[in-house]
A and B are shown apart, each in its own frame.
Chain A
Amino acid sequence: MVKVWKTINLVGEKIVGYVKEMGRMLLLLVDTIRWSLYPPFRVDLLFQQMERVGVRSVLVVVLTGVFTGMVLALQSFHATRAFGAETMVGVAVALSMTRELGPVLTSFMVTGRAGSAMAAEIGTMRVTEQIDALSAMAVNPIKYLIVPRVLASILVVPMLTVIADFVGIVGGYLTGVTMLRINAGAYVANMEKYVELNDIYHGIIKAAVFGLILSVIGCYKGYTTTGGAEGVGKATTESVVLATVTILMANYLLTAAMF
């Protein structure tokens, strides 16, 4: 009986801990929004972060997008060939990319590349007192460090998603039309017929939300780091795991709400 109570206690403590952490994350988000509204507006820092989060992620996003598009074409070709609907492969690729895989895979890649870097960089600054130094020099660390990273992520993850959508569709076309010999005209015509602009818009909205999630989690984990180098490593890993899971949960909710 004592063991059962202990287990319940432990589970309860864990849940309370998670809820508290979510509350603190939400407060950080509120602070970030508040400080983003106060001048001076640091466009230089925003562009610097857009370059770090966005430009430097282009290659990995292109590779992810093109191979995902190609494999989608391959898989849907085998599925549709059974009932002679090979020309629908393009539709399957385009809808999967624009609605789901484009935003989700892009935000995963950005989480791994830039979200983890945010946690590591801000975490190192925390444990080496650089964040205290910023405050001591009358520079608000949330405004200086977190606002540009969050705004940059909200802006560039949708841009990267558009790139992933495009190269994914091109990859699917190359596989479907060039390798699998599907009729090019019917392939494109079906895509035009069944894919709507709203599919792309909704994917872009999702990407902006995912950008917000991955950056807030990365910055929060870094900002609250304790325990030296080991703490920085822990914060970095936790930020990637938490952001990835949160993105998947948010993806389900957004899909349910939008489609």
Chain B
Amino acid sequence: MIEIRGLHKSFGALKVLQGVDLQIPKGKTTVILGRSGVGKSVLLKHIIGLIRPDRGKIWIDGVDITLLGDTELNELRKKFGMLFQEAALFDSMNVGGNVAFPLREHTKLSEKDIREIVAQRLEQVGLPGLEEKMPAQLSGGMKRRVGLARALALDPEIVLFDEPTSGLDPPMAEAIEDLIMETQQKLGETFVVITHNITVAFHIAHKIAMLHEGRIVAEGSPRVFRRSSNPVVQAFMARREEKEVQE
């Protein structure tokens, strides 16, 4: 389980996180929802230790990661997989090299075994046989899929998703949502997804938490969340309904 308590972070005069409290249950998909620029990515990067908080605590399976040094933090990160907003594939390596990267860095597997795992992972995300392609030759949706294959390469316990569907056309976005849902159901791992899209949240989440003005203002299962009386949640819901009527 991931537990965040009293998390504060400022960049210069800009206060981004102002006391975030959140519990992320094990083996479920938790979606952190909020409008663009509210600090969702900053929160996600705190969970994996890419950003150090000004104040507050983050426990991953009982370990307070804010107290860890660089080497211990690096060890802990092996529990994680992360899919970045634009996939962040290494553009100097082909698809196979990208997916194999964590395996080559952290295991002593033979090249034959690595190739087999890479092929399996690519098949899992619906892109079999794409090993030789370069990231520049892929569409946005394909990049996210390869990014997911890379994030899953080491069988992580926790997978983080930074806006996995932003910038994609609706059918592709839906396909990525389905892929996230199927993968979570199959592997039973802890997924943490951040998005500004409430439809995505309702589609894939076991738990939704709303980040607004540096704090979690509402949280719960999609059913509980839907009935929240919080005005920020209500505004999000109203906008969603407006969009649905327009469509």
Contacts and interface: CB of A to CB of B under 8 A. Distances in A.
A136 B80 contact: yes
B106 interface: yes
A128 interface: yes
Interface string A158-188: 0000000000000000000000000000000
Nearest to A125: B90
A4 interface: no
20 contacts: A121-B92, A125-B90, A128-B88, A128-B91, A129-B86, A130-B88, A130-B89, A130-B91, A132-B88, A133-B90, A136-B82, A136-B160, A137-B82, A137-B102, A137-B106, A137-B150, A138-B75, A138-B78, A138-B102, A140-B70
Contacts of A198: none
Interface residues of A, number: 14
Contacts of A121: 92
A139 B105 contact: yes
Contacts of B84: 129, 132-133, 136
Interface size class of B (residues with CB under 8 A): 20 to 34
Q: What is the interface of chain B mostly: helix, strand, loop, or mixed?
A: mixed
A135 B102 CA distance: 11
B16 interface: no
A201 B118 CA distance: 50
Given A132-B45, A132-B50, A137 B77 contact: yes
A193 to B, nearest CB: 51
Contact of A137 (B45, B70, B85, B105): B105
A129 B88 contact: yes
Contacts of A137: 77, 82, 101-102, 105-106, 150
A129 B85 contact: yes
A130 B105 contact: no
Contacts of A136: 48, 50, 77, 80, 82, 84, 160
B74 interface: yes
B70 A138 contact: no
A31 B39 CA distance: 29
Contacts of B106: 137-138
Interface string B155-191: 0000010000000000000000000000000000000
Contacts of B80: 136
A135 B77 contact: yes
Interface string A65-99: 00000000000000000000000000000000000
A137 B90 CA distance: 12
A136 B150 CA distance: 11
Interface string A124-152: 11001110110111111000000000000
Contacts of B91: 124, 128, 130
A135 B101 CA distance: 12
B125 to A, nearest CB: 17
A159 B106 CA distance: 34
Contacts of B90: 125, 130, 133
A129 B101 CA distance: 16
Contacts of A139: 105
Interface string A27-68: 000000000000000000000000000000000000000000
Interface string B66-81: 0000100011011010
